[in-house]
């Protein structure tokens, strides 16, 4: 596999946390449908430990993965944490049991409970990056933002981020605190949030795409498959490589319950994409 010489491998989060751009998302370390413990918890622990041993130092989770399971497994696998490992978690969603809908709750009281629970499960006194999982349409956003700013001032949170937001949402939050990350659904097939990516790039905000192979129509999937075959990589690796080359402020958090897939994801850092390759991938779908 060809190596890339000009691809930036790290990103300086909020000017004080240098993280490798290939991180690890922990949704898949839980049980089926993101509920409960996995059938083999030791496998999840092994994957988390292997990720860090392989150089991954940005671990992304949320209190609703399980719920609570991924945070517990992260602590079991990685605590006490290596000095350079950054733990990012999210709060602001609730689910009351199997089959139940996931609901917004970004009220200050819920966020207080969620934050304290995450600190306890992760065995941390301060969370490096706490992200509002969703803006709650039932709660004025200013109330959620004001609580998060206060929690940061109290020392429970080092840095703050947002998820599934527009440029206007980010600008509103920036009136309350420094926004250092934005986590939106985005991939080579789904470019709805192109304007958000560009705003984040201009503000030196980390952009963290989730579902990096989502949304592709059959024809676009076939084109990606053909290109991946030509480059002797998997479709998933190629989709990750496109994101890494798309913008230097993109941090990746692919998740997996397979050690083999973990290694494949990490190796996407070494895939070379030429300007012509990027044009071919850019043209898979129109920007929405």
| Terminal-residue alpha carbon distance, the chain | 33
User: H/E element holding 197?
Assistant: helix 194-203
> What is the SS3 string spanning 137-177?
CCCCHHHHHHHHHHHHHCCCEEEEEEECCCHHHHHHHCCCC
Q: Are 271 and 241 in contact, with CB atoms under 8 Å apart?
A: yes
Q: Are 186 and 213 in contact, with CB atoms under 8 Å apart?
A: no
**Which residue has 């990746």 as its token pair?**
252
- Composition of the chain by helix, strand, coil, percent to 5: 40, 15, 40
List, in order, residues 6 or more apart from 61 with CB less than 8 Å away. 25, 26, 27, 70, 71, 74, 87, 88, 89, 90
Q: Are 253 and 210 in contact, with CB atoms under 8 Å apart?
A: yes
Which residues does the annotation mark as catalytic? 65
Asked if the bond preceding 80 is cis, omega within 30° of 0, the reply is: yes
Q: Are 123 and 96 in contact, with CB atoms under 8 Å apart?
A: no
Q: Facing residues of 202 across strands?
A: none
Largest CA distance in the chain: 53
CA angle 28, 31, 33 (to 5 degrees): 75
Report which of 195, 193, 161 is spatially closest to residue 176, judged by C-alpha positions: 161
């Amino acid at each position: 596999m060809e190596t890339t010489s000009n691809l930036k491998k790290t990103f300086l989060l909020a000017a004080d946390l240098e993280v490798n751009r290939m991180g690890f998302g922990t949704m898949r370390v839980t049980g089926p449908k993101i509920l409960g413990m996995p059938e083999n918890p030791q496998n999840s622990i092994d994957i988390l430990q292997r990720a860090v041993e392989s150089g991954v130092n940005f671990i992304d989770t949320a209190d609703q993965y399980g719920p609570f399971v991924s945070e517990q497994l992260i602590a079991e696998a990685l605590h006490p944490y290596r000095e350079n490992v950054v733990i990012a978690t999210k709060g602001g969603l609730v689910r009351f049991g199997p089959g139940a809908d996931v609901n917004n709750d970004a009220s200050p009281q819920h966020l207080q409970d969620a934050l304290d629970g995450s600190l306890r499960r992760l065995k941390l006194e301060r969370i490096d990056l706490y992200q509002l999982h969703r803006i709650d349409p039932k709660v004025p956003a200013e109330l959620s933002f004001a609580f998060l700013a206060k929690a940061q001032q109290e020392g429970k949170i080092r840095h703050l981020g947002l998820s599934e937001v527009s440029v206007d949402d980010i600008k509103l939050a920036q009136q309350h605190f420094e926004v250092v990350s934005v986590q939106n659904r985005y991939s080579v097939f789904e470019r709805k949030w192109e304007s958000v990516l560009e705003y984040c790039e201009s503000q030196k905000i980390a952009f963290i795409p989730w579902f990096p192979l989502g949304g592709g129509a059959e024809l676009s999937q076939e084109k990606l498959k053909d290109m991946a075959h030509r480059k002797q990589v998997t479709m998933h690796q190629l989709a990750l490589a496109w994101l890494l080359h798309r913008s230097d402020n993109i941090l990746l958090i692919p998740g997996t319950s397979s050690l083999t897939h973990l290694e494949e994801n990490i190796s996407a850092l070494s895939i070379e994409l030429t300007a012509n390759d990027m044009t071919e991938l850019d043209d898979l779908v129109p920007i929405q």
